[in-house]
Amino acid sequence: MSDDNLTATQRLVGDSAPKLAALTDDILFGHVWERAKLSKRDRSLVTVASLVTSGCTDQLVAHLRRAKDNGLTEDELKEAIIHLAFYAGWPKAMSAVQIAKKVFADN
């Protein structure tokens, strides 16, 4: 299969963990993200908040992009990170805002 036909997850981990890639694509993005009880915009805000609070900065890059695609503005995302500084901790927020700065500069 050419790289053009691979999902982002398959390109990221498919060669070393194909089952994890399949579960991510099929269950997480194919089912969970498609549930109607929360909008994708709300799911993105919850996901970004969770990644910031847990310090999972590697995943934050893609989810900040996805959040913008799902309707969140850069200002809303920055405000969420500022708000989280008081709940998640200053260092996590400082790391997250630096990543957001780079992601937003790329657009």
- pLDDT of residue 2 exceeding 90: no
Q: Say if residue 102 is exposed, middle or buried (CB neighbours under 10 Å; 0-12, 13-18, 19+).
A: exposed
| DSSP letter (8 states) at residue 15 | T
In this prediction, residues 47-66 reach a mean pLDDT of: 96
- pLDDT of residue 1 exceeding 60: no
The domain spans of the chain are 1-35, 38-107
- What integer pLDDT is reported at residue 54 of this predicted model? 96
**Which superfamily does 38-107 belong to?**
AhpD-like (1.20.1290.10)
User: Taking the model in full, what pTM does it have?
Assistant: 0.89
Segment 58-106, tens digit of pLDDT: 999 999 999 999 999 999 999 999 999 999 999 999 999 999 999 999 8
Question: Is 52:93 a contact under the CB 8 Å cutoff?
Answer: yes
What amino acid occupies position 83? H
